[in-house]
Structure 1
Amino acid sequence: MDPLPSRDLDMEGQPGTANQFGDRNRMFPNFGGSQKNIEGSSYESGGGVMNIERAETPPAPFAIIPFSRDPDFVNRGGILDQIYGRCSEPAGRVSLVGLGGVGKSQLAIECAYRVAAEQTNKWIFWIHAGTQARVEEGFRTIADAVKLPGRNQPKADIPQLVYSWLSNERNGRWVIVLDSADDSDVFYSTTGPTPKSKPLATYLPQSRNGAILVTTRNKNLARRLTGNDANILDVGPMVEADALSLLKKKLGLLDIDRATELVRVLEYVPLAISQAAGYIRARAPRSSPEKYLDEFRAGERKRIKLLGHDGGDLRRDGSASNAILTTWQISFEHICSKRPSATDLLSLMSFFDRQGISESLLKDSDGAQCVKINKKLEAGESESEDDCNEAEDMFEDDVAMLRDYCLVSTNEAGDVFEMHGLVQLSTRKWLEARGLQEKFKAQFVKRMAMSFPRGDYSNWVICRRLFVHVEKAMGCRPADGEMEEVWARLLYNGGWYAWLQGQYEIAERMVDKARRTREKRLGREDEASLQSVLLYASVMKARGRWKEAESLFVQVMETSSRVLGEEHPDTLTSMANLASTYRNQGRWKEAESLEVQVMETFKRVLGEEHPHTLTSMANLASTYRNQGRWKEAESLFVQVVETSSRVLGEEHPSTLTSMANLASTFWNQGRWKEAESLGVQVMETRKRVLGEEHPSTLTSMANLAITWENQGRHSDALVLMRDCAEARRRLLGENHPNTLSSLAAVAAWSI
């Protein structure tokens, strides 16, 4: 006769409990009919001999928590109360789900100590759930702790014994913590030492006298272990106040501004904050939050070094790394082993800006995931509708896995993704270690170059949405020569848009990289190279660096005339820009001569209503105005405004520029009411279309302020010009000519 409980399944598919142990004082039955207690003897049955264990007195409930309580624990809002409440419910199950390092285990530790202190009649068991072996080890620990009879038998089914004991309400109330339960196979794989092995999840009873608390990075596993989403508590990074509190507990008194900066760059992730604090403490007094910040901002390699520091933590499992980058890379490895295509998607996403990663950027035009290796196409086979559907399903499954592991999140519509910046950094480091960084960097650059259009006004909606990713691309120069040209095209288009938006510093950096790359790859006289130099010169002019701009415009004009021809649009554009540089320097005659030539040629080559022709007419009108030739200027401006409104639209930036120039012609003639009316219209429209601090908007503000000053509205004019001067100082710099002119006006009007 076998004294162990039966392993037959009951009606609900759970291990049977028909042979459960009774109350804690019950001894083994006396086999063979004898009424005496059996101590250390043996019992013969069916030709074999079974050792009979000495009876043990069951202990009173106690807690098994393998970590000390954290004196630096920060109570994060009401989440600990929620966990405690769920663990106090009959048959309660709750999962803490979140990215590695956000503090799930620390919350579980604190909750376990709180339960132990406030509910002394309750057992608390801790199982590290990273592998099947460790879960089985946890069951063995429970069996030993409660002194389960039969546990030392050679063929004892420990999980079944523990399940039966936990299911018996007479054995008391209990809480089990399943910590780091990240792998579904640990609980739901049927692989075992015998053909009859059952998934470990079947040994977790839904008993009214017990509760189960799970910490996991895997939301899908959390659903399976706890029943539904209602039993899942999402744990994210800390709020700023809690993050500061944690840093203060770790380091003591802090400069609040620097401390705030530090927790922000660490994205409020508790493990990253603790890791940084440990690094600073270990190197004090030669390190401090200020020095850590300086090192962190020194570049990506320095950030990787800092975040790879493992200072040890006794309140983390010995198999877990205390370095945040390594912690996340464990998740990457697991996903890679289960679903490589999901890892590919994550790898691609790591190069974008952390926010605003639209679904369209991650898919090919036919809806297939851009990182998918299409074996059929490689083999020369055609792609069917089923293939497209399969690719779409593949993408959705990849996204689901990344979301389940809390590595990406989406907006409400589900079509725009977001990642933690530190997760992106960790992913890129992981790729670098495997020699895959260039592959996915090239995919990112190619995808962005295909998606980001020229900087024309008609493309601004798209450009505005994607521009943050172009900024990221500046640091992603591909190693491959052909891809380097694609990268240069992307930066050229990005710089074009930035220039038109008045973001001159960013525009200069982007266009300079594009210009140098194209000149190196294509030669100085290639049309794409000349376009880059032309745009770079335009940025120089916008920044008030007239001499640099003039030199470059002359260079482009001469080269374009020789290589492309005197009437090529690029040649004419360079001539027009050179003329505007002359005008800005007060060289009116030189400007006028070039502008007349450009205007007449554009009319003949492109037509009288082409945008380039209209721009050349407006430039000539500006030169007339600056020479005091008001009537000629007004006539041309009126013509340009009317045509531009009809051809380009009333709110097109070129139309607004012509209207602003016409208004300035009015106030040069003392026609203040007309100037004010048109000036207000232009300023308000530019605020709405371009933004309140766009350089063109600020020009409108300055012009309107001048109009008001000349109308005797001194207070209104001074306030508006001060606002304009301050914005120009912030946007353009102290020494920009427009800033200086605004400051001069403020000084003169303040007397």
Structure 2
Amino acid sequence: MRLLYFDGSGRLASTNFIQKTIPPYAILSHTWGDDEFLFEDLVNGTGHGKAGYEKILFCGERAAQDHIQYFWVDTCCIDKWNLRELSKAINSMFQWYKNAAICYAFLSDVSTPMADAQLHQSTWETSFRKSRWFTRGWTLQELLAPASIDFFSLERQRLGDKNSLEQQIREITRIPVTALRGNPLDKFSVPEQMAWMAGRQTTQEEDMAYSLIGIFGVSMEFRYGEGMERALERLQEEMEKANTTPFIVPFDQNARFIGRESQLAELKGMLFVGASTTKVAITGPGGIGKTQLALELAYRIRQELKNCSVFWISASDKESLYQAYAHIARLLNILGWDDEKVDVRKLVQLHLSNESAGQWLLVFDNADEADAVGLMEFLPSSEHGAIVFTTTNRKTAAKLAQRSIVELPEMEQDMARKMLETCLVNPANEQEKADLLLKGLAYLPLAIVQAAAYVNVNKITLQEYLSLLAEKMDGLVEPLHRESENVIAVTWLISFEQIRRHDALAADYLLFMACVDRNDVPLTLLPAASPHEQGIHAVGTLAAYSFVTKRTAESALDLHRLVHVSTRNWLEKEELLSQQSQVAITRLLEVFPDHNYGNRSKWRRLLPHAKFALSSGLTRQENEAKTSLVWKCAMTLGSDGRWKEAEELFVQVMETFKRVLGEEH
């Protein structure tokens, strides 16, 4: 837990209590404004002119008056770029408020014109009853958890505490007095507790569920983008399966999964055999459905083997691998999981290798670069364990699983027909047209999904889409290596041209993402839209056409490899790749933080995108923005101890200076 304090010189500072006894602290409850003092401001020593900094001063000064040195404020005490820290904070929030020595509720919309507010309650009680603080989702737990709450006005006048204002709070919130007085919340029924949220709102709709996890005493993965309904469903599931066998899979089961029953049976028959860990690889070309097959396998193992733990790990790059291991370590509460000096990959490896871990299944998705990400080094070993890999690379599959390989064939016509019918919102009785379309799509699942998405969005017939497909077959952006990849290039082109006509911002977002790494693109990296809602709509357009997948837990997007390739090929054909790459580099330079180690979570997440933009031969000429971004990358790599990579970039910068300025400079 990171706490704030003012040092001897009066400067705001922070300290992180990791595996240490946490001292008494005050905590702030408030509603967020437009100009808050953030974690980046704390790290960089900036933001003291922000309106939100006044709340930091208020909390610290008030705590000092109550003889408390340390205090906590949510705006700046959580590194929201560090997904592990953010997840821990969300799941710990209720306990942090409960354990605080005192909570200060700062009501910015309640004004006290008289000097002694408590003697002139009539002047502010009406605005107190209408305060926005009583309408926000997160403030419910901030009202219930602390033993002591003092309420303050905009002018920092004390209005009273939870005891003296108990009647007003009870009338405003309709929460029983016994709950306000700290009685155990499990004494109240679930419907009764859910009713306390009535009339409250959150900025992110999913927070209507996440803000309840402490009240119900459960832990839950946050998946922004899943929607409130699904988040509430998962909350209910967590409440029902508390203390049951772990199932840590970040995706919902695909309700539209069709076919592949023979491959599923083959996979299940290869797991948990022999006296050592069984390893199986699923391989096949991009878009054929490897990830969906592995996902369905995970859910069926859960249904059939009730005592088998299931874990899903993204192996597409080093950072994804590390974060997945960290997430598992936290949810399993493995000793040392929150120690930043400990390698959580080793912790999970040792834990699952122990007999006490019982039966488990590990799925490593997108293991195409197994050597590059160091995958083999951290594989657990147990006769009760099984590991499944997905990869497009046949040689990688053989290296990971030897001969235990399931190669996905082309989808059979009957299954492809069922898949198309399932994906269509209004499936028509056009079997002949459907068969012609499926043949044209090479029975490829990704192509079927994209074609169905286009039909759904534009409300056209299969015959009309067939005509579009035939028209574009001769106009491929750039022929790819396999027929299946060529098909997806065509379905991409059909959808992209429609997007350009009807949602220019969505098209711009796609072109932008083609110039950065295709995985884990933060929504905050996309060029800002005005109004903000237009950006949300643009992302929705791309999702509707099955061009992007939302990372529900991370407010980020992924592009399928073939969507990324097709978009880049189009940019090259139109001679726009260099220009669009410059847009990406300029944007990255805007959001890329300095090398201060406190910013490491943010620059570690952005570094793959910066390195992709800089190392892919995208720009044709050196310019100041590119050189500045190279320099920032070099500095952050140095701060992270990656000296060789940093040195290579420093040399690149020096060579650029020599070419531009001459040897004498």
Structure having greater relative contact order (Cα 8 Å, sep ≥ 6):
2
Fold conserved between structures, TM > 0.5: no
| TM interval, short-chain normalised | 0.3 to 0.5
More helix by share: 1
**TM-score of the pair, normalised by structure 1:** 0.34
- Going by fraction, where is strand more abundant, 1 or 2? 2
Larger radius of gyration: 1
TM-score, normalized by length of structure 2? 0.38
